[in-house]
Chain A
Amino acid sequence: MEELSRALDDVLRREKSRVVGGLVRLLGSIDAAEDAFQEAVLAAIPNWQARGTPDNPAAWLTTAAKNHARDAARHRRIVDAKAPLLVESDMVSPETIESVSDDELRLIFTCCHPALTLESQVALTLKVVAGFTTDEIARAFLSPEKTIAQRIVRAKKTIEDKQLPYEVPDRAELPERLASVLAVVYLVFNEGHTTREGPLMRLDLQAEALRLARVLCELLPSEPEVFGLYALVAFSFARAATRTDERGEMLLLSEQDRARWDRPTIREGLMALERARRLGGRATYVLQAEIAACHATAPAWESTDWRRILRCYDDLLVLAPSPIVALNRAVAVCMHDGPAAALAAIAELAEPLASYHLFYAMRADFRRRLGEDARDDYGRALDLANNDTERNFLRRQIDSLGRERM
């Protein structure tokens, strides 16, 4: 029984989006597809227990879900346009790989449709594509379960009301729609990387972002930005275990134990990045992945290839000018050209980043390196930071400053 539930869990995680993707196409709505899928899972338990897990669990679940939907339709004597399709399908479902992949891709594009709010896109993607429960999503985002449930219901309603097409966008639309999908995966990853409150990171979200990125690479094998995102997430995931010490306190990149980085995952990232380069990509995700690769492959903080990192930041600032990117670039400036140059580089960011805690934390660090008393900046950073782990880190910096001066 335990073995069965593990097999079932595996299938649900891995195959749910494919199966549900196909069912949405047949049944015309995400709700109907999820209901039918749920029924199929219930039917699977006694059947698989008696006869063992089938060779192709996804096909089995699809067929069972279709049968359930057909029976339900008959029962309600509803004759709608979808009915003939349902009746035609029998127990054998010879889906080609292409049609299955297309279904999954359609589902992802629909869940990440720009007509939905970004928050809804993320919640819906985690629920429908990633197979998270509402409760799991609520815990991951530290929101009440009710809020998440409502968000998902509203999103599904928007899809129906606006009759958002269930399709993979065509060539002309693809770049913009893909940007929206990547933004959702990036947000899932980012939320896993530094949650807004509470502990520093949530590995399940990061693992899911990595999985989603991999799936997208399979489905869209010629898009460099998809591989860039995959690489970026892989590099970060590889370092996740070393971002906090044994007491859960945050460690800076310069303090992390590089020997404990997950080398195979870094290599995965390097392969993905190489693929992105060969596809001719040097847009925002690829550039961020290039920077992360410099860190992931550097033997030590001091011997990081800062010149290369600076070049990437320069390109990134041209493509997507942002004060946050400019702030991160200043770290590389500090390492390459010294803290005085870094302070000069962030001087004009004081206004746009006036309420961003990391601006003060970084300015404090640069000033400290120049031998200045930076307690006021650390104090401002502390006032603005939400994440407990980050706050503890800032407190430790202030404490050590006090000691330095004594």
Chain B
Amino acid sequence: MNARAGTPELEGFLPLGQAALYILLALAGEERHGYGIMLEAARQSRGKYKPGPGTLYDNLRKLIDQGMIEESRRASPTEDPRRRYYRITAFGRRVLAADVERLEAVVREAKARLRPPSARTI
């Protein structure tokens, strides 16, 4: 899928920052509350990136303002009532897809350059 083709309006949002990327990735699968996003970001980064609540909610506010995520529902009666759930919007999904495509290009380029000289084709 070429998410960037014919969508110049996405360019202004790229590249995504580290926090925004992990938040969108965490919400790409299912809706989550703040603590769930923190845990999922830590899991996806294999423990290398653990945003605190201050960082998380600052970025959530920005992403909500940009229309990439939205609040979905309040906590169920069995949960802590202070929890709120967030989900990715269709626009957020497109921005995430465009950034993943950008990262794929970076990885391709990096792999080509880091290959041992003997393996390179001239």
- Please say whether chains A and B are actual partners in one complex: no
Binding site for A on B (CB under 8 A): none
